[in-house]
Amino acid sequence: MIITLSGTIGSGKTTIASEISRQNFVHISAGGIMRKMAKERNLSLLDFSAYAEKNFEIDKEIDALQKSLVKEEVKRGNNCVVEGRISWFVMKSDIKIFLDADIDVRAKRVTKREKCSYDDASSGIKNRELSEYKRFKEIYSIDINDLRNYDLCINTSKWDIEGMKKIIFTAIENLKIQI
C-alpha cells in the first residue's frame, strides 16, 4: 500500500507520517530530501526554495528520487507513506491525504521545531508556501491547494495526534476492505 501525505507547512505531515510508519510503513519524505539538498548547498530552507524557483531541475530531482525510493521499497514488499507537498501528483497511491491547520497553530509548531520567533515562522511559512505554489503551478500546472486532489483532508488544529491517527487508520482500514 502507498499512502501519500501532503499538506501545509507545520500541519503535522512529518509527525503523522512517523506515526503511520510505526504500523509497518516505510516513511519517505520529500521535505527531508529538500532539507538535505539545502544543507549540502549551505542554504536555509527559505533560500533554497527561492533557488528552486529559478532552477526547476531541483523539484524534478526531488520528485524522481522520491519515486525511485518508493519503487525500491515496493519491490521489497514494503508499504510506504510518502510525505511531500506534491507526492499525490508525483506517484500513484492508494490514498491521498491532505493535512492543514490554522496559520497560528502552524506558526507555533514551526517556532518550536525551528527554534525561531513566531513572526519569523509565520512569514517563513507564507513565503515558502507562496514559492511552492508558484513553482508547482509553473512546473506541473497543478494547484496544490485544490482539495479535490485528495481523498481525505484533515484540519489538524482540531485533533491531537491520537485523534489524527484514529481518523487516518480508520480510513486505511476501510480502504483495505474495499480493495
pLDDT confidence band for 79 (50 / 70 / 90): very high
Residue 31 lies in a domain: yes
Residue 57 lies in a domain: yes
Residue 92 lies in a domain: yes
Number of structural domains in the chain: 1
Residue 83 lies in a domain: yes
User: What phi, psi does 28 have (nearest 5°)?
Assistant: -120, 125
Q: What is the pLDDT, as a whole number, of residue 56? A: 87
End-to-end CA distance of the chain: 11
pLDDT digits (tens, 9 = 90+) for 129-166: 998 898 899 999 999 999 999 999 999 999 999 999 99
Which domain CATH number covers 7? 3.40.50.300
Query: Which structural domain, as residue segments, surrounds residue 78?
Result: 2-153
Residue 67 Cα to chain centre, angstroms: 14
pLDDT confidence band for 19 (50 / 70 / 90): very high
Residue 170 lies in a domain: no
Residue 82 lies in a domain: yes
Query: 81 exposed, middle or buried (CB, 10 Å; 0-12, 13-18, 19+)?
Result: buried
Residue 70 Cα to chain centre, angstroms: 15
Q: Are 66 and 87 in contact (CB under 8 A)?
A: yes
Residue 81 lies in a domain: yes
Q: Which three cell numbers stand for residue 16?
A: 503523522
Residue 171 lies in a domain: no
CA distance 105 to 35: 22
